[in-house]
Amino acid sequence: MSRLISLLLLISFAFGDVPDDLFSQANDAMIYEKYEDAIQTYESILELGHENADLYYNLGNAYYRLHYIGQGIWAYSNALKLSPRETDFHHNIAVAEARRIDRIDMPEPFFLLQAYRDIKSNFTLREWIVLGSLVLLFQAMWVFGLQFGWLRGHMSQSILTGLIVLTLGIHGIAVDKYFQEKRTHTGVVIANGVDAYSGPFYGENTVLFRINEGSLADIHQSQKDWVEIILIDGKKGWIPAESIRALK
């Protein structure tokens, strides 16, 4: 099986084809419940540099079927980033997260802040930019109509004011989302019973806490084979780099 995948990878590199055959092959493996083969093929497609929401979603399903909860949440999270309004993605990641051992309950944010976060997360950064550009274009056309007298009256002026506010709001959200994605480097823990140490080495360093697969953490810095993570509740510690997988 692995030799066949390697051969297909070489063919894809040689001819520059999008690996549709590999994707179909992995989907067939899922149908016949050959989940390890499916994972190997899906991951090979990612190594080729190709990615889309369905690829990550199917990969997450394969990992989940083999009870790799952390890997499954990693794949589902990447799928949601590419397609944030897909209800199946939200459902499956909720099911996977329900099986996590570690639960960190944070206080509910102010409802307006939560509403803003929900709105911002419903579109990708590219979609916000495209939406902002379209509204800006419509605003420019409206101003053009006002300047040449095609549009008149207080209603037209009020609509222009609304378009300006809408344009500023959309671009503000896009900027906020851009800097959020730029400054955060989130990963998913993919192993159980991972000890977080006070320093990036074994030996004299103290075990600060233990974390299990499926937990999200911000990757603060790395040193050799170690990464320093920060949990949502503020806990900070060093864990082996192989025990966490960074989101795309």
Angstrom distances, CA of residue 37 to CA of 76, 130, 236: 19, 38, 36
CATH architecture of the domain formed by 2-97: Alpha Horseshoe (1.25)
Structure confidence at residue 116 (pLDDT): 93
Q: From edge to edge, which strands make up the β-sheet containing 216-223?
A: 207-211, 194-197, 236-240, 226-230, 216-223, 186-189, 244-246
Mean pLDDT value across residues 154-178: 94
Average pLDDT for the chain: 89
Q: Characterise 75 by phi-psi region: left (phi > 0), alpha (psi -120 to 50), beta (else).
A: alpha
Digit-coded pLDDT (tens) for 228-237: 999 988 899 9
Digit-coded pLDDT (tens) for 218-227: 999 999 899 9
Of residues 86 and 107, more confidently modeled: 86
Q: What is the DSSP string of 71-140?
A: HHHHHHHHHHHH-TT-HHHHHHHHHHHTT-S----PPPPPHHHHHHHHHHHTS-HHHHHHHHHHHHHHHH
Structure confidence at residue 8 (pLDDT): 46
Output the CA torsion 76→78→84→90 (10° steps): 10
Mean pLDDT value across residues 202-226: 91
Structure confidence at residue 205 (pLDDT): 84
CATH architecture of the domain formed by 186-246: Roll (2.30)
Q: In angstroms, rounded to a whole number, what is the distance separating the alpha carbons of residues 89 and 106?
A: 23
Is pLDDT above 90 for 204? Answer: no
Digit-coded pLDDT (tens) for 52-74: 999 999 999 999 999 999 999 99
Structure confidence at residue 247 (pLDDT): 95
Domain residue spans in the chain? 2-97, 111-183, 186-246
Is pLDDT above 80 for 162? Answer: yes
Let me know if the fold of 2-97 is the same as that of 186-246.
Answer: no
